[in-house]
Amino acid sequence: MLADNIINGTNFFKTLRKKNGKLIRKVEEKLKRWVEYFDEVLNTDSYEEQVEDLEPQENNDQEAVQDPTQKEIEEEFDKLKNNKRTGENDIPGEIFKYEERMPQQWRNAVICPISEKENKTNCENYRGISLLNVTYKVLTRIIKKRLSLFHDTLIGEYQGGFRKGRSTTDQIFTLRMLQKQSFEQNLSLVHRF
């Protein structure tokens, strides 16, 4: 569906509504409505008062904040898959894999609206998927890997969710077994999250 929309975008948004509910007829107005919608969704203040109360922690792990090394970049380029859709710069991953040069465009993305509901006339019924430039993907993988290594030193062994090679299945199984045993032995069981 996404590829069809990119190739034949005129069919994708045949009908679209303004905020006030009126139908938009002109293509230029439809494009402006999409820009307005994603500007509202993506450029909001996500300030929370609780953040002020947090004290910064001392970080002695300088490895997590160093510039990416040439070796890290090459490793991530090698992991790139061939024949994947490009970002805004239209440069496929294969170029970076074999050419080994890094262009300066890191932050640009093409936002593709994906319908989540049956009513396709309202922008609010879509979520945006960002097609990122391959270079940006390489950088974010390096950052993610470093943050994961640093993050794993901060959290306890009890944390199972959102960690590579782990899941909450073992913890759920353990909790269910404790519930079963406490029920069979007519004992109270207290657990907290």
Of 167, 149, 174, 176, the residue nearest 159 (C-alpha): 167
Half-sphere exposure of 121 (CA within 13 A, CB side): 10
Same domain, 96 and 27: yes
The pTM score is: 0.46
Instruction: Flag whether 24 is in a domain.
Output: yes
Residues 70, 107 share a domain: yes
Whether residue 163 lies inside any domain: the answer is: yes
Query: How many independent structural domains does the chain possess?
Result: 2
Same-domain status, 150 and 161: no
Q: Give domain status of residue 54, yes or no.
A: no
Same domain, 133 and 189: no
188 located within any domain: yes
Question: Parallel, antiparallel, or unpaired for β 23-24 and 109-115?
Answer: unpaired
Q: Are residues 149 and 164 in the same domain?
A: no
Residues 70, 113 share a domain: yes
Decide if pLDDT at 62 tops 90. Answer: no
What pLDDT score does 82 carry?
Answer: 82
**pLDDT, mean of residues 98-108:** 62
Q: What is the mean pLDDT of residues 136-165?
A: 78
Domain residue limits at 192: 157-193
- Check whether residue 142 and residue 165 sit in a common domain: no
Q: For 89-102, what is each residue's pLDDT tens digit?
A: 666 777 666 765 55
Q: Are 92 and 128 in a shared domain?
A: yes
The strand pair at 126-132 and 23-24 is best described as unpaired
Q: How far apart are the first and last CA of the chain?
A: 41
Question: Is residue 104 very low, low, confident or very high in pLDDT (cuts 50, 70, 90)?
Answer: low
The reply to whether 116 and 137 lie within a common domain is: yes
